[in-house]
Amino acid sequence: MLKDDGSLEFCIGVKSLQPHIVCRLQDAAAWLLRFTQSIGQKVSVGGFLRCSFDNPGFHPGDNAHIFEIHPVRAVEIGGQLHSIELNVRTDSVQDWTSNLSRLDESRRVRYWKGSDMLVFSDIEVEEQKYVRVTGQVSDIKLNISTNRPAWFILDSADVGRQVKVTCLQGTRAAHQLRDIDSTEMSVIGLRSLDLAKALEDRYRINLVAIEIQPA
């Protein structure tokens, strides 16, 4: 399904009354025909496992889920492997403001260890997916010789706290991080819940980088 923001949403593992996995590509109109022709075929998808409340099922007709593969980084269709660069339309990007941070701080999560469950409260539908934020950079980890993502810490006055920014290897953002020599960066990234912090009863949003530029 092609969304109004230009993203393409598709599902894998779909069987009647069985769980499925939602996958999303941004700026993906050119992929619509290819995926439509592949309905019912075997498809393998690689990307970032994101947790968010974009589609939690609060409204009738929602494809309710809080986990999705977004952004999709690679897809194998009909035996052919396609690498996908991470892009986003500029009109889908908003500034990460202090108001958005206050909304994040009002949300709660509790981890019930005995039943291995995360219980969320004071949650509303997450409207902002892709954001732009500027701040001071520290603790850069490139991880060039491994498959692990690169990452760094961004300290932003607009956000009011430090944000961990992840760069998937092989993407434009990962290469930009290697080349940049400024201590202040402007980042366009996708908001995602930090599951490690959620296990510590902390609701914390971090970023998957799409583009990094000197501020």
Q: According to the 3-state scheme, what is the secondary structure of 76-108?
A: EECCEEEECCCCCCHHHEEECCHHHHHHHHHCE
Give the span between the Cα atoms of 192 and 40, in whole angstroms. 30
What is the residue whose two structure tokens read 């609701």? 203
- What's the pLDDT score for residue 20? 83
Tell me the residue type at 198. A
Domain with CATH 2.40.50.140 in the chain: 90-214
Q: Does domain 90-214 have CATH number 3.40.50.170?
A: no
DSSP structural state of residue 61: T
Reported as type and span, the H/E element at residue 67 is strand 65-77
> Residue 14: its pLDDT value, please?
64
Q: Which residue has the higher pLDDT, 59 or 189?
A: 189
> Which residue would you say has higher pLDDT here, 14 or 48?
48
3-state DSSP call for residue 73? strand
Q: What is the pTM of this model?
A: 0.90
- Cα–Cα distance for residue pair 84/35, rounded to 1 Å: 14
Q: What's the whole-number mean pLDDT along residues 9-19? A: 76
Give the pLDDT score at 207.
97
Q: In the structure, what pLDDT confidence band is assigned to residue 16 with cuts at 50, 70 and 90?
A: low
pLDDT mean over 151-157: 95
Contacts of 59 (CB under 8 A, 6+ apart): 125
> Given this model, what pLDDT does residue 42 score?
85
What is the pLDDT at residue 56?
A: 83
Q: How far apart are CA 72 and CA 168, in angstroms?
A: 11
